[in-house]
Amino acid sequence: MGNPHGVAGADLSARDGGLYPPPSVVISWPAPNFINPTTHDWTGPIVLMSVMAFTFAVFTARIWARMVVGKNAGLDDLLMSIAMLPLLGLTVAAFLAITMYGFQWHVWDQTPETHITSRQIILVIEMLYLVSTSLVKISILCFYRRITNGSISRVFVYFVWGAIVCVVCYAIIFTFLLIFSCNPVEGYWHLFDLSWRMTHKVKCHNEAAEIVSVVIISTLQDLIICALPIFLLWNLQISRRQKAGLIGIFGMGLLTCVCGVMRSYYAIYTYYYTYDITWFAYYGWIWTALEADLAVICASAPALKIFFNRYFNSSTDNRGNSSYQRGNTSHYIVARNSGDPDEISNIESRRWDSAPVPLFSIKVSTGMDITIEDRDETRSQLSESSTRCLTALPPPSSTDKSYPSHWVEGCRTMCEALRPNSPGRVRDKSGKEDIDRGTECK
């Protein structure tokens, strides 16, 4: 591979690069410039901070949706919360690496100080990357296990558990390999410190092979985790539109895979195709942080659907419907139950606006025998503001002393209200429209 970024003074050929440039390459480099060196611009740091802020906003919405709205937080949410700590550290470390610790300059412009700090920040970034991304992957796999509990084949469940074990082993093995890459350990960041090397002996593993192995295995894990929902949804008995939507949500993980591929490219290029390692590692660190951040965003996508449905769709519906006003009134609705279909029930309502509620019909089912029917969202628009659930019914007659004055417990009434423009509206047997008033449930 040639030199696609036009670095002066380096005539590179395939597999001509790494940590230890030969004397012929060092001689060809320009003289060090410690006063006004060529520096990367601030586009990368700004992108990192912006994506990090957006990631924390998405994570906050996810936790709010799970804990406050849905009240169904699980182990996957706990793991994701723990992962946010090393993820924050990873983004900050990458930011410092490309702005202060030497990766903003060419290798020939490095100072004695940045020869040390650049090596230290490499170790910090790799450790935080392993911990944060592994926790995110395990969180996603726990989510798969959670949504398939008792509803999918054992083969899929075993595969999920096997993937969790592989991720854990991967994180532990490479963490120890990177920490003890050099003997003694401090030799890792003193590798290019000439004064330290004159008084110490250091022996290091093949750093290039370790780093490239980490990024390639991580990218393969991302691809496998993104592919798992395809097998999960393939035989799911839902409409094609819903299936496509779910695949789209889970398919967002491919963005993480793209970042992993780009990071793999720059890792290979940095260690095998150039000796200007600090200049080209700059791009690799940006893709490293983006991969971890996008993993959290994509993993939170299913919970975000709940969040937006709760706080945005409902707000839109409420603005389109008539608002309630203070004051109590009574309205009659057509009650369809096991008794007389034309029976009229007078139930005290919630506070209604003086303008009629823009609903076409109301369907009420009373008694203990309740049928729940799935509906296609494209065929009806159920008014959430006019759907009520009653936990009791009033006595049949206020004059009958045999009935208590309070509501009878143990009975449930379901009310469904359809808007006038709904194609799936319901009419009564006489062909007339049902009365379009809702009721309050007490």
What is the per-residue pLDDT for 145?
A: 84
What is the per-residue pLDDT for 82?
A: 96
C-alpha–C-alpha distance, residues 241 and 227, integer Å: 19
**Regions in the chain scoring below 70 on pLDDT:** 1-16, 149-152, 234-238, 243, 245, 310-311, 313-442
Backbone Cα Rg of the chain: 32
Q: How is residue 217 annotated by DSSP?
A: H
HSE (side-chain half, CA atoms, 13 Å) at 111: 11
Cβ contact 48:288 at 8 Å: no
Looking only at Cα atoms, what is the longest distance across the chain? 108
C-alpha–C-alpha distance, residues 220 and 124, integer Å: 23
CATH number of 23-313: 1.20.1070
How many other β-carbons are positioned within 10 Å of the β-carbon of residue 84?
18
Cβ contact 420:380 at 8 Å: no
The β-bridge partners of 389 are: 414
Closest to 86 (Cα-Cα) out of 301, 304, 295: 295
C-alpha–C-alpha distance, residues 376 and 393, integer Å: 30
Cβ contact 334:433 at 8 Å: no
- DSSP states of 196-210: HHTT---EE--HHHH
What is the per-residue pLDDT for 356?
A: 46
Q: Where are the domains of the chain?
A: 23-313, 330-418
C-alpha–C-alpha distance, residues 96 and 294, integer Å: 20
What is the per-residue pLDDT for 336?
A: 40
The β-bridge partners of 360 are: none
HSE (side-chain half, CA atoms, 13 Å) at 257: 13
What is the per-residue pLDDT for 387?
A: 38
Q: How is residue 429 annotated by DSSP?
A: T
Q: How far apart, in Å, are the Cα atoms of 277 and each of 55, 65, 82, 194, 286?
A: 29, 43, 32, 18, 14
- DSSP states of 92-144: HHHHHHHHTSSTTS-GGG--HHHHHHHHHHHHHHHHHHHHHHHHHHHHHHHHH
Cβ contact 426:442 at 8 Å: no
3-class secondary-structure state, position 276: coil
3-class secondary-structure state, position 221: helix
pTM for the full model?
0.67
